Amino acid sequence: MPQTITPALMFQGQATAALALYTSLFPLARVENLRLYGPGEISPEGTVAGAELHLTPELRLRVSDSPPVHAFTFTPSTSLFVDCDGESEFDSLYAGLSEGGEVLMPPADYGFSARFAWVNDRYGMSWQLNVPHQPTP
């Protein structure tokens, strides 16, 4: 059995910008073990060879730029589902993640939560943003 399973996000030369966006939107986010490609390496100098993005204390993602250009990219069939603490956090994340991206489901009460939206950010990563229903006393 594996010791850990870590989701990996592979970008096409945009990992540095994506890391900057995500760390600006998530207050607890931090980047660790960032390694950039140097001159003469397999990928353009300054692109991300590897990094760990801690979005929350519980969620760590591996992030890199792919040396070869692939015919595929991110797809909404795999997304990050974010339970927000409230409307303010939801609005902030929605504004930041949808800017320059694609709205798959606009913010609304779809019945399964108090408020929900689904977006692809400007780098193609898919995010489901959720404000859960408050438990009834």
Residue 71 resides in a domain: no
Residue 38 resides in a domain: yes
| Segment 47-67 mean pLDDT | 95
Which of 1-5, 8-12, 18-22, 52-56 comes out lowest in average pLDDT? 1-5
- HEC per residue, the chain: CCCCCCCEEEECCCHHHHHHHHHHHCCCCEEEEEEECCCCCCCCCCCEEEEEEECCCCCEEEEEECCCCCCCCCCCCCEEEEECCCHHHHHHHHHHHHCCCEEEEEEECCCCCCEEEEEECCCCCEEEEEECCCCCC
Final residue in a domain of this structure, among 21, 37, 65: 65
For residue 60, pLDDT beyond 90: yes
Residue 104 resides in a domain: yes
**Domain range holding 12?**
8-65
| Pair 77, 85: CB distance under 8 Å | no
Cβ atoms within 10 A of the Cβ of 21, count?
20
Which of 2-11, 29-38, 101-110 comes out lowest in average pLDDT? 2-11
Cα–Cα distance, 56 to 4 (Å, whole number): 16
pLDDT band at 135 (very low <50, low <70, confident <90, very high): confident
Residue of 62, 67, 96 whose CA lies nearest to 82: 96
pLDDT band at 72 (very low <50, low <70, confident <90, very high): confident
Q: Are residues 19 and 50 in the same domain?
A: yes
Residue 96 resides in a domain: yes
The pTM score is: 0.91
Residue 54 resides in a domain: yes
pLDDT at 69: 83
Residue 74 resides in a domain: no
Backbone angles phi, psi at 15, to 5 degrees: -60, -40
| Segment 112-131 mean pLDDT | 97
Q: Are residues 54 and 84 in the same domain?
A: no
Which of 11-25, 60-74, 111-125 comes out lowest in average pLDDT? 60-74
Residue 86 resides in a domain: yes
Give how many domains the chain has, as a whole number: 2
* CATH number for 22: 3.30.720.100
